[in-house]
Chain A
Amino acid sequence: MTRDRILTAAAVGILLAFLWFADRTFSAYSIRILNTIAIFSIVAVTYNLINGVTGQFSLGPNAFIAIGSYTSALLTLSPQEKAASFIIDPIVWPLSVISVSFPVSLIAAGVLAGLIAFLISVPVFRVRGDYLAIVTLGFGEVMQVITNNAVSITNGPLGLKGLYPHTTLWWSWGLCIFTIICTVRLVNSSYGRAMKAVREDETAAEAMGIDAFWTKTLAFTFSAFFAGVAGGLLAHLITTISPSLFTFFLTFNLLIIIVVGGLGSTTGALIGAVLFAWGGEALRVVEEPFTLFGYDLPGIPGMRMVIFSAILILTMIFARSGIMGRREFSWQAAIDLGSTLLQRIRRT
């Protein structure tokens, strides 16, 4: 146990040193990718909690990210900026005068997203399986319609512009580490075991005295809270948000992340998020003009999503457990793996 703690602390230390190094030397583009990885990791790890660990197939994280983004953005913009950007309809009263600091706005984003998740869990968890998927998908669509139409709150399709880029590597990765610690501790607690029991067999879990409804609500609210925080980070990373950012497409990306990483594995969700954010950038080459064996090929816009969709389908058909399955990273396993590899190298 002590050894694992030391190793974890060392790993976090190395990560922080790397971030410090990256912060000073990397290009703005690379830093942006690192930030994106952290934000995707926050959402993926907590989305996996509801979809993978608790086994409730939600398709609504885009709604909670949207709630978080808008809450945080509306709270950090100054009253003058808000008055200037709301040109169709003036902004409603309390929002028009409030302006708070970035950390407070992030907490508010998480709390509001979590609160809404808590409130809708009563109707949502009346249904199961694919009906649950459709209801949460429907919630996402309703949220989309609201952000487009509640012009005096969200500024409609124009969105919010000119946010201060508060999201630095320290904010995004700091919160990412915090999220991972919270999620891992939750999964390993008795609540986490209850969530797994509900996933395996809801009736049996209830017979053992687990309140399935509260367990699901806990996972759902927890997941929405961090999706909201991640939304706030995202808004202050890209500095311009509009409803079109938070369509079902966003959920689809998260779904690829957790399925490819392995549904039910926090480690898998992390690996998936890193692969997705990095791979998404690396695959940009297929959408730009490129030269292959002396031929000039035009770029194909949209090709990346074709590749991602194909990866999702192929993963489901041929490798349904993804990269990690339901296994988690542990130092013991890593050491064992390392020593077997060493032995093999020595033998040859």
Chain B
Amino acid sequence: MDTAFVIQQLIFGITLGCLYSLIAIGYTMVYGVIRLINFAHGDLLMVAAYIGFFGIVIYHLPWPVAFGISILLTAALGILIDRGAYKPLRDSPRISALITAIGVSFLLENLGIVIIGGRPKSFPRPSLFEGDLQFDQLILPYLSLWVLGITVMLLTLVLLIVHRTRVGMAMRALSRDFETVRLMGVDVDRVISFTFVLGSSLAAVGGIFWCMKYPAVEPFMGVIPGLKAFVAAVLGGIGSVSGAALGGLLLGLAEVLIVAIQPEWSGYRDAVAFTILIAILLTRPTGIMGEELPK
């Protein structure tokens, strides 16, 4: 195993990790605000990919327009899911909302099968993201650079929103105490909708880039990335945006490196995330960056 190989694997790991981070940030924000594991979050990624696919392949839109529409519509779907399925259960036991979220997730997946069909479709990759830089034996795909750049940019943006704006302050307050925030005159539903917009848009960006990396769009494509992104969010400390980004990065690196070091374990790659999850919940349930949870 030489240095070039290690660096190459690190590049792959960071790219995968960035994608997990983008999805995990949405998970962690929604969980932070309404304490709900939004199972449908992974499926938003699938919806975004399909919209992008149809925009480019069927309606022949230029790709920036198609991606823009995809992000907007996914954000709208995020609000719709919250208003339609989660809001009526805001004051009921948390498990009820969780069951509903699982239902929404299966509903989206099966609607995908009914409307579009289960056959995987190949996602078009715009020429801007094609190609790669070559140094000696090292391959640096442009897509990896784009993914890293966009993740860093969006992470900064989200951190600015959460820590520097009024709505961000309201979001942080909500994660502490729902009732008091409501009593202070904050329009809680608008803040929650804003959280869903932000989270769903990030999932859409993640979904579009996911499809450029693994170009097969199918109704169940969001399940595994969604679950792993949740693990990443727990790993980083649920509720913490930078924690989710860090958790995603670590999880991506761990998955790629384990397979690189032990190629015969490649079949067990999907088990890595859940093993990490169980280990982290046993030793430090609040994650790496998480604050102590109030009892």
CB distance from B236 to the nearest CB of A (A): 15
Given contacts A137-B227, A306-B111, contact A252 B106 (CB under 8 A): yes
Q: Which of A72-80, A126-134, A210-218, A333-341 lies at the binding interface? A: A126-134
CB distance from A28 to the nearest CB of B (A): 29
Asked if B98 and A133 sit within 8 Å, CB to CB, the answer is yes
| Interface check B16, CB cutoff 8 A | no
Asked if B99 and A316 sit within 8 Å, CB to CB, the answer is yes
Contact for B113 among A138, A149, A302, CB less than 8 A: A302
Q: Which of A35-43, A139-147, A229-237 lies at the binding interface? A: A139-147
Asked if A317 and B89 sit within 8 Å, CB to CB, the answer is yes
Given contacts A57-B98, A259-B99, contact A313 B282 (CB under 8 A): no
Contact for B277 among A126, A138, A148, A320, CB less than 8 A: A138
| Interface check B257, CB cutoff 8 A | no
CB distance from A140 to the nearest CB of B (A): 9
Q: Which of B87-114 contact A (CB under 8 A)?
A: 88-89, 92, 94-100, 102-104, 106-107, 109-111, 113-114
User: In the bound complex, what is the Cα–Cα distance between A139 and B231 (angstroms)?
Assistant: 13
Which chain B residues lie closer than 8 Å to A306 at the CB level?
A: 107, 110-111, 114
User: In the bound complex, what is the Cα–Cα distance between A301 and B116 (angstroms)?
Assistant: 11
Q: Which residue from chain B places its CB closest to the CB of A252 in the assembled complex?
A: B106
CB distance from A223 to the nearest CB of B (A): 17
Which chain B residues lie closer than 8 Å to A312 at the CB level?
A: 99-100, 102-103, 106
Asked if A127 and B107 sit within 8 Å, CB to CB, the answer is no
Q: Which of A277-308 contact B (CB under 8 A)?
A: 300-303, 305-306, 308
CB distance from B144 to the nearest CB of A (A): 27
Q: Which residue from chain A places its CB closest to the CB of B86 in the assembled complex?
A: A317
Q: Which of B58-66, B145-153, B163-171, B268-276 lies at the binding interface? A: B268-276
Which chain B residues lie closer than 8 Å to A135 at the CB level?
A: 277-278, 281
| Interface check A94, CB cutoff 8 A | no
Contact for B37 among A127, A133, A252, CB less than 8 A: A133
Asked if B110 and A141 sit within 8 Å, CB to CB, the answer is no
Contact for A255 among B36, B102, B104, CB less than 8 A: B102
User: In the bound complex, what is the Cα–Cα distance between A8 and B247 (angstroms)?
Assistant: 56
Which chain B residues lie closer than 8 Å to A126 at the CB level?
A: 281-282, 285
Which chain B residues lie closer than 8 Å to A142 at the CB level?
A: 271, 274-275
CB distance from B196 to the nearest CB of A (A): 17
Asked if B230 and A317 sit within 8 Å, CB to CB, the answer is no
The total of chain B residues at the interface (CB under 8 A) is: 42
Which chain A residues lie closer than 8 Å to B107 at the CB level?
A: 306, 309-310, 313
Produce 1/0 per residue, B23-62, CB < 8 A to A.
Answer: 0000000000001110000000000000000000000000
| Interface check A123, CB cutoff 8 A | yes
Which chain A residues lie closer than 8 Å to B278 at the CB level?
A: 123, 135, 138-139
Q: Which residue from chain A places its CB closest to the CB of B264 in the assembled complex?
A: A149
Asked if B104 and A313 sit within 8 Å, CB to CB, the answer is yes
Q: Which of A9-33 contact B (CB under 8 A)?
A: none
User: In the bound complex, what is the Cα–Cα distance between A88 and B107 (angstroms)?
Assistant: 37
Given contacts A129-B95, A310-B107, contact A317 B88 (CB under 8 A): yes
User: In the bound complex, what is the Cα–Cα distance between A300 and B110 (angstroms)?
Assistant: 11
Asked if B274 and A139 sit within 8 Å, CB to CB, the answer is yes
Contact for A149 among B102, B268, B273, B274, CB less than 8 A: B268
Max chain A C-beta neighbours (<10 A), residue from B89, B100, B109, B275:
B100
Contact for B89 among A131, A301, A316, CB less than 8 A: A316
CB distance from A164 to the nearest CB of B (A): 30
Q: Which residue from chain B places its CB closest to the CB of A320 in the assembled complex?
A: B96
User: In the bound complex, what is the Cα–Cα distance between A134 and B231 (angstroms)?
Assistant: 9
User: In the bound complex, what is the Cα–Cα distance between A313 and B108 (angstroms)?
Assistant: 12
CB distance from A47 to the nearest CB of B (A): 13
CB distance from B122 to the nearest CB of A (A): 21
Which chain B residues lie closer than 8 Å to A309 at the CB level?
A: 103-104, 106-107, 110
Asked if A252 and B102 sit within 8 Å, CB to CB, the answer is yes
User: In the bound complex, what is the Cα–Cα distance between A248 and B102 (angstroms)?
Assistant: 11
CB distance from B178 to the nearest CB of A (A): 16
Asked if B114 and A301 sit within 8 Å, CB to CB, the answer is yes
Q: Known A-B contacts: A130-B36, A303-B114, A309-B103. Give 10 more (CB < 8 A).
A: A134-B234, A138-B231, A255-B102, A259-B99, A302-B110, A302-B113, A305-B113, A308-B106, A312-B99, A320-B96
Which residues of A come within 8 Å of B, CB atoms?
A: 57, 123, 126-127, 129-131, 133-135, 137-139, 141-142, 145-146, 148-149, 248, 252, 255, 259, 300-303, 305-306, 308-310, 312-313, 316-317, 320
Q: Across the A-B interface, give the 10 residue pairs with the lowest CB-CB distance, nearest first.
A: A138-B274, A302-B113, A149-B267, A309-B107, A312-B103, A305-B110, A313-B103, A145-B271, A309-B106, A316-B100
12 residue pairs A–B, Cβ–Cβ below 8 Å: A57-B98, A123-B281, A127-B285, A130-B35, A135-B278, A142-B274, A148-B267, A255-B99, A301-B114, A306-B107, A309-B106, A309-B110
